[in-house]
Chains A and B, each alone.
Chain A
Amino acid sequence: AQKVTQAQTEISVVEKEDVTLDCVYETRDTTYYLFWYKQPPSGELVFLIRRNSFDEQNEISGRYSWNFQKSTSSFNFTITASQVVDSAVYFCVLGGNNQGGKLIFGQGTELSVKP
Chain B
Amino acid sequence: DADVTQTPRNRITKTGKRIMLECSQTKGHDRMYWYRQDPGLGLRLIYYSFDVKDINKGEISDGYSVSRQAQAKFSLSLESAIPNQTALYFCATSDSGGTVAFFGQGTRLTVV
A interface with B by C-beta (< 8 Å): 9, 33, 35, 37, 43-45, 47, 50, 52, 91, 93, 95-97, 99-103, 105-108
Q: Taking CB as reference atom, which chain B residue is nearest A98?
A: B98
Nearest 4 interchain pairs by C-beta: A105-B42, A45-B103, A105-B43, A101-B98
A95 to B93, CA, bound (A): 12
A50 to chain B, nearest CB (A): 7
Q: Which of B40, B44, B50, B99 has the largest count of A CB atoms less than 10 A from its CB?
A: B99
Q: Taking CB as reference atom, which chain A residue is nearest B43?
A: A105
Q: Is the CB of B98 within 8 A of A103?
A: yes
Secondary structure type dominating chain B contacts: strand
Q: Size class of B's contact patch?
A: 20 to 34
A97-B96, A97-B98 known; A102+B105 contact, CB < 8 A: no
Task: Chain A residues near B98: list those with CB within 8 A.
Answer: 33, 95-97, 99, 101-103
- Counting residue pairs across A and B whose Cβ atoms lie within 8 Å, the total is 64
Task: Chain B residues near A102: list those with CB within 8 A.
Answer: 33, 45, 48, 58, 98
Q: Taking CB as reference atom, which chain B residue is nearest A99?
A: B98
Secondary structure type dominating chain A contacts: loop
Q: Is the CB of A44 within 8 A of B48?
A: no
What are 12 of the A-B contact pairs (CB < 8 Å)?
A35-B101, A43-B108, A44-B106, A93-B101, A97-B97, A99-B98, A101-B94, A102-B45, A102-B98, A103-B101, A105-B43, A108-B42
Task: Chain B residues near A107: list those with CB within 8 A.
Answer: 40-42
Q: Is the CB of A101 within 8 A of B50?
A: yes
Q: Is B31 an interface residue (CB 8 A)?
A: yes
A45-B103, A96-B99, A103-B33 known; A91+B42 contact, CB < 8 A: yes
Task: Chain A residues near B78: list those with CB within 8 A.
Answer: none
